[in-house]
Structures are given as C-alpha cells and as structure tokens.
Amino acid sequence: MSQNHLRDEVQAAARAARVAAATLRRLTTDQKNEALLAVSARLRDETGRILKENAQDVSAAVENQTPPGIIDRLTLTEDRLAAICDALETVVELRDPVGEVVRGYRLPNGLRVEQVRVPMGVVGMIYEARPNVTVDAAGLALKSGNACLLRGSSSAAATNSVLISVMREALDAVGVPADAIIAVPGTSHESVQHLMAARGLVDVLIPRGGAGLINSVVTGSQVPVIETGIGNCHVYVDASADLDRAVDIVLNAKVQRPSVCNAAETLLVHRDIAAAFYERAAPALARAGVRLHADSDTTTLVQGSGIDCEPVTDEDWAAEYYSLDLAAGVVDDIAGAIAHISNWSTGHTEAIVADSASVITEFLAGVDSAAVAVNASTRFTDGGELGFGAEIGISTQKLHARGPMALPELTTTTFIITGNGHVRA
C-alpha cells in the first residue's frame, strides 16, 4: 500500500468515526447501556473464536522470543475474557457523565450559566500488546458518547481484529453505528503517523504502552494527547510499619501480576527496621521467584535467604521491569525515601507502609505522583479496582486528567448561557 493510499485510508476511518460520533452524542443513557450489554453478550458468545485468534498472536510472540511480561499482557484466557466482559457490564451501572452540570450559577444580570459535560468526539487509542484495551477503550468511549479509533500493535493484530469485528456486529444489531468502533488501517508505523497527523478529524489521542511508544506520540502528534505513563512504582516501608503487613503489601505489589504498570519496581526500607523486615521478606520473595537488584546494605541483609541478588545500577532504579525483578535499597529516613522517589519515579504510583500519622502526612506532602497508596498495594491504581469499571489508561500528566481515566475524563465541557433577550451593553 502506497503512503498516500494509507494516509487516505486512515483519514477515511477518522471521518467515518466523526460521522458516528455525531449520532453517539445524541444517544440516551439507556441506548448506550443497551449497546454495551449487547457487546458484552456477543463477546461471551464468541469466546472460542476470539481465543483461537489470540492463540495465533501468542504463538507468533513466543516464536519471536517476546519477553514473558509482554506475552502475559497479550494472552487471553476464558477467565480474562470473562473479566473484560464483567468490566463492560460494570460500566453499564456507572453514572453517565454526559449532561452533568459541573457548575451552574446565575449572574446579577439574570443570565444563567452552566458548564455541562459533553463527549470529546473521536478518541484515538494507540497501544501495544494489550487486547483488553481494545474492549475497555471501546466500552468507555461508547458510554461517554465518543467514537473510538483503535490502533493496536501488530503483535496483537489477529486478536484485535476479531474483537473489533465482534463488537461492531453487536452495535449493528442494536441500531448503533458500527463505526463507533473502528480499527485504524495498516500495521506499519506510518499508519500511526497518519493518525497523529489527523488534526481536525481526531479530537484526542491516548497512547498506552512502553516509554518509546508514549514518547513518540507525545512528541510527534499534531492531535492533542493525554499522556499515559510508564510505571516505575515504589513501595517505602517506614520504621513505624507493621512488618507482617509490609511483607504482604510488598509481595502483592510485586508478585500478583508483575507485567502491568501498577506493579512495584522499587522497594525502599527504613534503615532502623531493614534487618527485621528482610528476615521475614527475603525468604517470601525468594519463594515467589523475585530477583533483587540491591544496594550494598540490602545485599548484606539478604545473604543466606536464598534470594537471587545482584548489584543495583542507575538503569535498575529507572527500570519498569515487567518481570519479577525488583530494585531494592535502604534509606536513612522518610526524607531519603522521598528524595529517591523524586529522582527516579515516573509519577505513576507510590506506596507507603507506616503506622506513624506524621510520617504518612510527610509522605503525602512530599510525593508528587498520580496516585499514592497508604498501607495498600500499588496494584489498586486501576480503574476497575477504584470503582470506575474499566479504564482507558492511567494519566501521569497534570492537564485535563491525572490517574486512572474513565468516563468523566473522556468528556469535555460546554458553557450554556441562557438569557431572556439579554444583550451586552
């Protein structure tokens, strides 16, 4: 396919989405919910078809020696697909943000002013080997009245193709424009470039993936971008922490699903309790298969525990591993923990395990990230876990949206100014 032809194909898809968006913004909440339930039911009915296509993508990824963490994100199972459908059905129960009055007041001259939520219009998703994003993004876009352009990675091409086909079939069956959900044509980087150049046709782009993908979209797009972030997430265990609780939180944050962005990548422990903590934690981490990239203090403390350990480097402190690797260090106090996090964090999620109210307050004041967990795992920074249903991404920027993004973050606002023949003097 020539570049001009590919550009025309991408622009045609964006125009079709824009036409669909004009219809979507007029749908009632009941109509949107009916469409979401139809999509969920059709995905459940087509589980076998979907898993068959996914198996092709997974097999190709294994042959290409793709890292295990990426393969895990790519892989669908009956349980994972059921969970994706459950999330869609949860979105049905959520309040529709469209039409919500953000603020309203009457001016002294009698004018009534209301700032009201309205759909963005056309939302473009650029993402890597995460087929769950295909469904999550489409569902959240639909509930918030937006059309969705989906550009997944070539490594998930077969899976994304069948998921989009099934969802479009479901929409068509209930009289909602199928073009509310469209796959961006092409699998080359050039198709992404054409999407990023579609200013005026696409209202916002949301990239999800590794640092390379996100940076290329943020720096190269002519379309406005909501920047999602990589997750170099930290857990700090304070001297005041309950050690059993700390071990449980660290294990969950690192081990429960290491291939996702809210998994812990760095562990910081207060010097005063480091020996007692690692006496309990090191054997448990070893049994879970964790490999430490540790400073000299930590290395000394875990000797004889059976855990794999190697010297930490600056690259380790900065890494998002997508694996059971964990950077680990000992800090002198809460100030040292905050300084380390400020230097290395990607601004996603940081956690503190502590019983001291003053230390927790200092941590909350000193850490500048999209989410901060107090005596809880980093794994809770997730739209579903926080009651949003699915999520379209986790924003680490500070404009428009920050943290897990769901329905309200997929809207903008319109000011409605109502008068009674008012004219400005």
Pick from 42-56, 254-268, 360-374, 399-413: least confident: 399-413
pTM for the full predicted model: 0.82
Question: In the β-sheet with 349-353, what is the strand arrangement from edge to edge?
Answer: 308-311, 291-294, 325-331, 264-270, 233-237, 349-353, 371-374
Judge whether residue 1 has pLDDT over 60.
no
Can you list the alpha helix ranges (DSSP code H) found in 179-310? 189-196, 211-220, 243-255, 271-287, 296-302
151 and 125 Cβ atoms separated by less than 8 Å: yes
CATH assignment, 233-380: 3.40.309.10
Q: How many CB atoms lie within 10 A of CB 65?
A: 7
* Fold matches, 3-227+397-418 and 233-380: no
In angstroms, rounded to a whole number, what is the distance separating the alpha carbons of residues 369 and 215?
18
163 vs 185: CA distance, rounded Å: 15
pLDDT score of 2 more than 80: no
The class level of CATH for 3-227+397-418 reads: alpha beta
pLDDT in tens, 315-324: 999 999 989 9
- As a dihedral over the C-alpha atoms of residue 73, residue 184, residue 149, residue 212, rounded to 10 degrees, the angle is 50
What pLDDT is stored for residue 285 in this prediction?
Answer: 97
Q: Of 112-116, 246-250, 303-307, which range is least confident?
A: 303-307
**pLDDT grade for 227, boundaries at 50, 70 and 90:** confident
Q: Structural domain boundaries of the chain?
A: 3-227+397-418, 233-380
Model pLDDT, residue 148: 98
What is the predicted pLDDT for the residue at 312?
Answer: 98
152 neighbors 236 (Cβ within 8 angstroms): no
Q: Reduced to 3 states, what is the DSSP secondary structure of residue 76?
A: coil
Above 90 in pLDDT, residue 141? Answer: yes
Q: What is the pLDDT of residues 366-424, one digit of tens each?
A: 999 999 999 999 999 988 888 887 788 888 888 888 888 889 999 999 999 999 999 99
As to burial, measured by CB atoms within 10 angstroms (0-12 exposed, 13-18 middle, 19+ buried), residue 200 is exposed
